[in-house]
Amino acid sequence: MDPSKLAITTVGIIGAGQGGTAMLEALVNLPHVRLVGITDRNPRALGLKIATYHQIPTPLHPLELIQNPQVQLLIDVTGDPSMASTIVRYKPQQTEVLEGAGAKVLWDFIQQSTMIQAQLFQAEKLAGFGTFASGIAHDINNPLYVILAMAENIQEESDRENICQYAVSIHEAAQRIHAISKNITQYARASQTQGAVTVDLHAKLDEALTIARFATKFHEITIQKHYQGTPQVFAKPEEVLQIFVNLMTNAIHAMEGKGHLVLTTGQQNGLTHVSITDTGCGIPSENLQKIFDPFFTTKAHGMGTGLGLYNVRTILRKYHGDLTIESEVGKGTTFHLIFPSTPSIEPVPHVPNSLSSH
Amino acid sequence: MPEGTAAMFGGHSTNGRVLVVDDETDVRKVVRMTLEKSGYDVIEAEDGEQAIQEINKGENPLMLDCIISDIRMPKINGVEAINYFKQNYPHVPLIVLTGFPDTEMATGFMKQGIVDYLVKPVEKQKLTTAVAKAMEQREINRL
């Protein structure tokens, strides 16, 4: 059955505590579910804040939702028997109800899958770190070798001029290591920041290039930047960085060390467009459909978890952006990213169990 | 006077001739110093392309006794270069000298029949032992 032909189900959630919040978060991204409202006796319940952020109505009294004829499915996560009888008494006849054990099982399931997703997200970050770390190791080991060997040579050398030459080599090598260490500290600092701020996309693209440089073979790749204006988004800086690093390392891997990487930015209709184009091997059409699936990977076992693009899209959608792809085998691939321009986005409230990085 | 100084002025020296392929001048210099002290003659190339040119530069390629190559370099990288050497000069023993401490890559290369996979920073002793092993290999290949 073609999923696009599925009818929309309208849903109302009663209870906006832990259970209601988990339910809301799971349902808000489903394409064939429209949330009509969520309600809770406690006006400060977390789920209500998140609903407001997603522009989902939060009626003050449960009856407003129970009696709403637009609601096809009512999910009651309060576990309160008096609520169950209120629903039976006031709901329109055709409204279906999920409550008690049924709602509890669904909640458990959602919690379980969110937890697994969060773990996988972490796994991907670590897998990415492996390549990153070996890139740094390579860049440090070269000058380190020079330092150690030259220092040994100095011990065995008596000619002052030669000693001076060796010392110059040591000095240069040490400076290179210093530069690398500065870069890493900046990256580490970026990943510690909490919360969303105004992020300069051009600065993040440039920063991502430096990091991708560590994670890949970069020597024969030319970079072209077609930057326009000063695009900014309201987001967590490390998440934006993660998106760019991920797409750039993919692009560079696809080119196997040789080619052109083109970074383009522009603004249109209140949206910021960023595209990352490579002249790599391209993606066959049969893979294009699967490329955003979790666990889809063409890399060798242990080289990637197949969650990179899935995570990139998850992050972008959290910020009301999106990611599309255009590719031709043998010619290359372009990733088109869309960000809503500031100030249209508001900070995402803190959500437990969400996929945001900690 | 350090041993092997004579080798710097050309001519096939006593212990054998080694081609060092690395894109970093100082790394080549350090390897050269270590090997010359052990009496080897050293030729340098900064990437695979130059290495291939160097070998084919009219001098008899058979005069080369060992190749030490990095694997991450511009133009023709080490992996490509090593495949080229393997195909065209199967009798010249190869040593990989790299900044990547990668077991999988090392195993792959060892299976291809290289003499050793050395990770920078490499101790002098380890480097000279590997080269000595390569020279033994070279003798066997010559038979």
User: pLDDT tens across A232-285, in order?
Assistant: 888 888 888 888 988 888 888 888 778 899 999 998 887 889 999 999 888 888
Contact present, A201 and A272 (Cβ < 8 Å):
yes
Q: How many CA atoms lie within 13 A of B14 on its CB side?
A: 9
Chain A: residues touching B (Cβ < 8 Å): 134, 137-150, 152-153, 169, 172-173, 217, 219-220, 257
Question: Residue B6: inside a domain, yes or no?
Answer: no
Question: Residue B35: inside a domain, yes or no?
Answer: yes
Question: Residue B98: inside a domain, yes or no?
Answer: yes
Q: Which of A15-19, A134-138, A318-322 comes out lowest in average pLDDT?
A: A134-138
pLDDT at B64: 85
User: Measured between CA atoms, how close is B47 to chain A, in angstroms?
Assistant: 12
Domain hosting residue B78, numbered range: 13-142
Tell me the CATH architecture of domain A127-190. Orthogonal Bundle (1.10)
pLDDT at A211: 77
Residue B130 has pLDDT above 60, yes or no: yes
- A22-51 average pLDDT score: 88
Write down the domain spans for chain A.
3-98, 127-190, 197-340
Task: Spell out where A139-202 has E strands.
Answer: 197-200
Higher pLDDT, A320 or A129: A320
Contact A144 B120 (CB under 8 A): yes
For chain B, the distance separating the N- and C-terminal CA atoms, rounded to the nearest angstrom, is: 35
Interface probe with A: pick from B3, B21, B24, B26, most Cβ of A within 10 Å: B26
pLDDT at A2: 52
Question: Residue B3: inside a domain, yes or no?
Answer: no
Task: Report the number of secondary-structure helices (H) and strands (E) in chain B.
Answer: 6, 5
Question: pLDDT tens-digit profile of A161-179?
Answer: 999 999 999 998 998 888 7
- A87-95 average pLDDT score: 93
Chain B: residues touching A (Cβ < 8 Å): 24, 26-27, 29-30, 33-34, 72-75, 77, 98-102, 119-122, 124
Nearest CB among A140, A145, A220 relative to B30 is that of A145
Place of tokens 């991204």: A29
Residue A329 has pLDDT above 60, yes or no: yes
pLDDT at B113: 87
Tokens of B59: 């001098």
**Total domains in the fold of chain B:** 1
Question: Residue B89: inside a domain, yes or no?
Answer: yes
Amino acid letter at A288? L
How far apart (Å, rounded) are the C-alpha atoms in residues B7 and B74? 29
B81 band by pLDDT with thresholds 50, 70 and 90: confident
Residue A16 burial (C-beta neighbours within 10 Å; 0-12, 13-18, 19+):
buried
Residue A69 has pLDDT above 90, yes or no: yes
Contact A173 B30 (CB under 8 A): no
Q: How many CB atoms lie within 10 A of CB A203?
A: 14
Residue B100 has pLDDT above 70, yes or no: yes
pLDDT at A302: 42
A140 band by pLDDT with thresholds 50, 70 and 90: confident
A275 forms bridges with which residues in the sheet? Answer: A264, A336
Give percent of chain A with pLDDT exceeding 70: 77
Q: How many CB pairs under 8 A join A and B?
A: 60
Question: pLDDT tens-digit profile of A112-121?
Answer: 777 776 666 6
Contact A145 B74 (CB under 8 A): no
Nearest CB among A152, A173, A217 relative to B26 is that of A173
Contact present, A75 and A99 (Cβ < 8 Å):
yes
Per CB-CB distance under 8 Å, the chain A contacts of B100 are: 134, 137-138, 141
CATH fold of A197-340, please? Answer: Heat Shock Protein 90 (3.30.565)
Higher pLDDT, B119 or B8: B119
Higher pLDDT, A214 or A109: A109
B83 band by pLDDT with thresholds 50, 70 and 90: confident
Higher pLDDT, A301 or A156: A156
Give percent of chain A with pLDDT exceeding 90: 30
pLDDT at A74: 94
Residue B20's CATH number: 3.40.50.2300
CATH no. for A3-98? 3.40.50.720
Q: Of the ranges A52-56, A141-145, B79-83, which is most confident?
A: A141-145
User: Measured between CA atoms, how close is B1 to chain A, in angstroms?
Assistant: 10
Dmax over Cα atoms in chain B, in whole Å? 42
Amino acid letter at A273? H
Query: Closest chain B residue to A215 measured between Cα atoms?
Result: B100
Query: Closest chain B residue to A149 measured between Cα atoms?
Result: B30
Task: Spell out where chain A has E strands.
Answer: 9-14, 33-39, 73-76, 96-98, 197-200, 220-226, 232-235, 258-268, 271-278, 322-328, 332-340
pLDDT at A281: 86
Query: Closest chain B residue to A219 measured between Cα atoms?
Result: B74
Contact B121 A173 (CB under 8 A): no
Question: pLDDT tens-digit profile of A300-320?
Answer: 444 444 557 777 888 888 888
Mean pLDDT of chain A: 80
Residue B31 has pLDDT above 80, yes or no: yes
ipTM of the assembly? Answer: 0.79
Residue A188 has pLDDT above 70, yes or no: no
Contact B99 A149 (CB under 8 A): no
pLDDT at A14: 95
How far apart (Å, rounded) are the C-alpha atoms in residues A223 and A237? 23
